[in-house]
Structure 1
Amino acid sequence: MKRLLKEYGPALAIYLVTRLLAVLFVVATSPGRVVHMEALPGYHSVGPAILPADYGTVMTSWDSQWYWDIAQNGYPDSARGADGQPQQTSLAFFPLYPMLVRLLMAITKLDFPIVAPTLSLLIGAAAVLVVYRLTAEATGRGQALSAVALLCCFPAAPIFQAAYTESLALLLVGSALLLVLRQRYWWAIIPVLLLGLTRNISLVLAPVIALHWWVRVARPLRRRDGRIPWPPVSLLALFTASVAATGMWLLLAGAITGEPDAYLTTMKAWPGFTSSPFDPPWLAAAHRTGAAGWVVLAVLVLSYAGLLLRLAQRSPGPELWGWAATYPAYILMTTGATWSIVRYLLLSFPIALALVPGPQKGNSKMMRASLVAGLCLLGIAAQWVWVSKLLVYAGPQGGWGFP
């Protein structure tokens, strides 16, 4: 037990302290500011807001209401409205998280505003420990703690304790990457399939798995005897699972509704939907805003590319670098230009390694700690803005809100 506390205690302490800080941010910004969000056009409401607002109201607002609906009522029997046109339904939200909440609600007899944020908080703790273990095995303990600190101070990190799927998705992604790093391919299939029931991102793991095979398996053998081997059956099975998991919820949604295209149908009713990755919503947004939009998009893409090059110099391995490269590219191709991108990028955690000095540079521990502390303070300041302007709705005159 002592050994476990010594190894994982600092990472867990960072998580708990930053979560308490997030609670203070929510409590400080919510009284007198949250209005009845049911009045927002297109806002789906299950549990009415409490005025003055409390912590549970804030942490179960926005898309959390869809998960509340699923946990309480299950899924609808159609993705179309009475007029036959696609409509926004809970079929757009994957089932693993709300079903876990539903199970715990049945066991504990507690309500959604208590069970869901608590579950997210606990899963988030497990996710941070997995990220720490993964990063420590890839780069070393010092860099792993720095990465965990930056992750926990990321502007959207309070979502770890909201009724959203970021905590669960991070746990499953981190677990899959850790098992791939350890070459436990059969075991890695489990988190990959569960990820397919959590978020529509399991496909992103396919190129990461392919990169892992080339760097860890094929290239060393090619250098040794000049031949490129076939991937082992277990690795091929894992690659296939990452692709197949992408269609799991599509098939289940079709079975629930009797409409084979139910998931895609309901997605058409959501802003920013695109039927092709070759027509990403971000390009359309840049086109609408003119030259300024293209400049902003170019700066963002080039800046991230620079971070990827810097990350490659840290030699984190194909698993972390591959995920840091492919996941944001996938988000750029498939999601709309909304403020939600901030929380989506929470899962791009390996990029934090590009922001801290590498051990091979001979930097002192004090220098690294000072730099990480400065970055964390900047992140916490941005976190305050994220909570006060985006998470806690302040009405049409006082907050931006998630589009």
Structure 2
Amino acid sequence: MGIMVTNKEKTIRTLNNIAETGLDVFNKDEYTIDNENENPDAIVVRSFNMHDIEFGTDLKAIARAGAGVNNIPVTACTEKGIVVFNTPGANANAVKELVLTSLIASSRNLFDGVAWAKTLENEGDQISKLVEAGKKNFVGKEIKGKTLGVIGLGAIGALVANDALNLDMDVIGFDPFISVDTAWNLSRNIHRAMTIEELFANSDYITVHVPLTDDTRGMFNKDVFEIMKSDVTILNFSRGELVNDEDIATALENGKVGKYITDFPNETVLKVKNVVPIPHLGASTAESEENCAIMAARQLKIFLETGNIKNSVNFPNTELPYTGKRRVAVFHKNVPNMVGQITSAISDYNLNIADMVNRSRGDYAYTMIDIDNKVNGEVLPGLDAKIRQINNIVSIRFI
């Protein structure tokens, strides 16, 4: 790999239709959108499966215009020093609105009622009488005064919890990893469950907003259904695999679970009564797609131009105010004395360090160093080679 200096025109490739408002973030004098380029500087993607793509040597970052990154080989990217961004919160309002819509509509049996009303076509003057006679089959429940359990109080869960309070529901929240920023945005009237079992046992409705991991896969299963109230409604707008399909089918059949509202239909749940299948519409609004595209593009642009990282799923958030000085950005293993070796290599070229930052995340770390001197372009190849000789360096670029 040759020396990587990021002051040339940059190439962006998209692997899905990305909203033009997002692509407009990239200044056309400095960026080229080229969807045929197999070795771009960065990629913007939505749901395209990237696991079989061979990455070019110029690729520095991938931005997912959405929250989940299951379609991106994150581990392989990390090993190559490719930053993977997502856009947490950009589609939160869209998902929140659909969660609350589904909660109310299912409580009033609206979906079944509408489907039945459509069967009355061609009944002519009898429709009014049939409606009055049939509506008793769709008597529902009001949500006021009922208890909603919210698992996961991130961008979406916090919005759902706060708005459910405004609908006069009692709200229980559970999130052992809640961030300080989220905590500030949560109403003080939300009861914090100390255990997830407490939430299961006391909720009339349960909505889940957590990522799919080895720990959360199948978290809704026959054991937890036993803890829940009878006739509980479960809403899943996160990932289908959070729920054990066979176990919830049994719970729906015996009435332990009253309704299962899922944004992820599959063959098993479609065959079961009292399932409300939604065709993955959680973030499907024009506003959400634009918000995600703009946020993804801005994060990529900032990283490519300054090295600063925000909302990466595989490297730490890192920010160093960019003043226009020559910047060295290095991804490396999180082992002792890496920063010392990098700064020593810089000092060997009689270069002064103006500012620096180092952040780590798991097995990897990221170091940015601003050089005080005006750096002669002839120095860069030698400095680049010297830093690359250090063990445990993943990648380096100059900005």
Q: Which has the larger share of helix? A: 1
Work out which structure has the larger RCO, using CA pairs closer than 8 Å and 6 or more positions apart in sequence: 1
Which entry has the higher C-alpha Rg, 1 or 2?
2
Q: Which has the larger share of strand? A: 2
Query: If the length of structure 1 is used for normalisation, what is the TM-score?
Result: 0.22
Query: If the length of structure 2 is used for normalisation, what is the TM-score?
Result: 0.23
